[in-house]
Amino acid sequence: MADRYLGFTGTAPGRFLTRRLGLPQPAALIRRTGGRPRFDGGLLHLTAGTSDLDLAPVLARTGLTPGAGHDPTAVVLDATGVRDVDTLAEVHAALHPVLRSVAVSGRVVVLGAAPDPADHHQAAVQQALEGFTRSLGKEIGRGRTVNLVRLADVTAAESTLRFLLSPASAYVSGQVIEVGDEEVTAPDDWEQPLTGRTALVTGAARGIGAAVAETLAGQGARVVVLDVPGAEAEARALADRLDGTALALDVTAADAGERIAAALPDGLDVLIHNAGVTRDRRLVNMPAERWSSVLDVNLASVLRTTDALLSSGALKRGGRIVATASIAGLAGNSGQTNYGASKAGIVGLVRSLAPRALAEHRVTVNAVAPGFIETRMTAAVPLLIREAGRRMNSLGQGGLPVDVAETTAWLAHPASGAVNGQVVRVCGQSLLGA
């Protein structure tokens, strides 16, 4: 399962050989560790057009050093004021001279405004930033990421900027994230924002779910590790390690939502729908049971438990729902009509429910869409397809469960109340799909 190629390209002979042969040269990504929760390098703050954003105080709180000259770890380009093609040239003028110097595994974050339906010139150039960001992400290399944040209010976007400008977002690139202008309250402690909150993670005995539980617990949450009765021993071992509790439950049970609510009489703040299964086969060979089992675990149970926990009030006001989609649901994948349908269904659920859940319950609803993540699920993929899956993204490597976990934690953050209805791919900018 280990990515031996990545290890090889990290050695001098490996670098030499792969360069000579024109093979991908993935850089070892810098991820968040206990000792290194934030970057501590330089931050270059550039502007294209004229901007009203009061960005400097927020950027100063990221841990990076604003204005630090050479080899910046991060570049933030404020392009919110770009309204016409002439001013769009300032995006080129600002970034062209500095890109080469951005550190390995560094960050470029472009800030844009929502395209204005009443001004097609502004809408055209703000949309242009999307094509620009995705293209730059594909060419920048050296483990560096490029993302676009469309924001209306800089305070509401602080949790998002902190995430994108930290090692926590190592495998998130080529994304367009919209942040609204909901009022948000900053946590007392940005490193432990989930203190006092209860988070339930489905399918958390292993893989991505276990990493999510661990990351949320690391940020102060009391976690409930839910998994099928057959995985109870692993779920319990993890829960014990995280000072949480285990809940042995099959999410496809008709009364799963009620049983979760009964197990949590004090209610729930964060609901992570992570449990998922694959039963791959081309549609012509797929028996109905393979179809229905995947749709039941990956979509129907998510709809049922969400409805039950929202309508009963067990998911508290200010709560967060993060569901798990997949790039297979965005791009489609041969042999996965059932899985692709279920994961696209998650996207539909998020987009429809998000505005209503926020208006009626003050709950945000978002999804993560993992690409190729190194887990048991992908270890079972045949070797050649597995190797192609790992390399076919801008970062030239697979992601780790912790990458999905960090993205989930940002969406679950109490200060992420203005991030709603988003589907964020954690895929190293996979070539599959948009």
Q: Which residues are catalytic?
A: 339
- Closest contact distance (angstroms) between CB of 384 and ligand NAD is 16
- Closest contact distance (angstroms) between CB of 234 and ligand NAD is 7
Record the tokens describing residue 237, joined without a space. Answer: 């071992």
Residue with smaller CB distance to ligand NAD, 165 or 426: 426
Residues between 302 and 321 with contacts to ligand NAD, criterion CB under 6 A: none
Q: Are 296 and 252 in contact (CB under 8 A)?
A: yes
The whole-angstrom separation of Cα 95 and Cα 144 is 14
Q: Would you give the DSSP letter of residue 11?
A: S
Please tell me whether residue 209 binds ligand NAD under the rule CB under 6 A. yes
Please tell me whether residue 279 binds ligand NAD under the rule CB under 6 A. no
* Residue 411: alpha-carbon gap to chain centroid: 8
Residue with smaller CB distance to ligand NAD, 205 or 395: 205
Please tell me whether residue 215 binds ligand NAD under the rule CB under 6 A. no
Residue with smaller CB distance to ligand NAD, 194 or 299: 299
How many residues touch ligand NAD (CB under 6 A)? 27
Q: Are 162 and 109 in contact (CB under 8 A)?
A: no
Site string for ligand NAD, 164-203 (x = CB under 6 A): --------------------------------------xx
Of the listed pieces 79-87, 181-189, 365-373, 415-423, which binds ligand NAD according to CB under 6 A? 365-373
| Token pair 């076919």 in the structure block, residue | 392
- Closest contact distance (angstroms) between CB of 338 and ligand NAD is 11
* Residue 262: alpha-carbon gap to chain centroid: 30
Site string for ligand NAD, 366-405 (x = CB under 6 A): ----x-xx-xxxx---------------------------
- Closest contact distance (angstroms) between CB of 282 and ligand NAD is 19
Please tell me whether residue 263 binds ligand NAD under the rule CB under 6 A. no
Encode burial over 68-80: b for 16+ CB neighbours within 10 A, e otherwise.
eeeebbbbbbbbb
Of the listed pieces 46-54, 93-101, 189-197, 244-252, which binds ligand NAD according to CB under 6 A? 244-252
- Contacts by 373-377 with C-beta closer than 8 Å and gap 24+? 373/208, 373/398, 373/399, 373/400, 373/401, 373/403, 373/404, 373/426, 374/1, 374/3, 374/398, 374/399, 374/400, 374/401, 375/206, 375/207, 375/208, 375/401, 376/206, 376/207, 377/207, 377/278
Residue with smaller CB distance to ligand NAD, 58 or 377: 377
Residues between 16 and 45 with contacts to ligand NAD, criterion CB under 6 A: none
- Contacts by 234-242 with C-beta closer than 8 Å and gap 24+? 234/205, 234/206, 235/204, 235/205, 238/204, 238/205, 238/210, 238/213, 238/214, 239/213, 242/213, 242/214, 242/217
The whole-angstrom separation of Cα 403 and Cα 373 is 9
Residue with smaller CB distance to ligand NAD, 153 or 296: 296
Interacting residue with ligand NAD among 277, 295, 303, 331 (CB under 6 A): 277
The contact set with ligand NAD (CB under 6 A) reads 202-203, 205-209, 227-228, 231, 250-252, 274-277, 297, 324, 326, 370, 372-373, 375-378
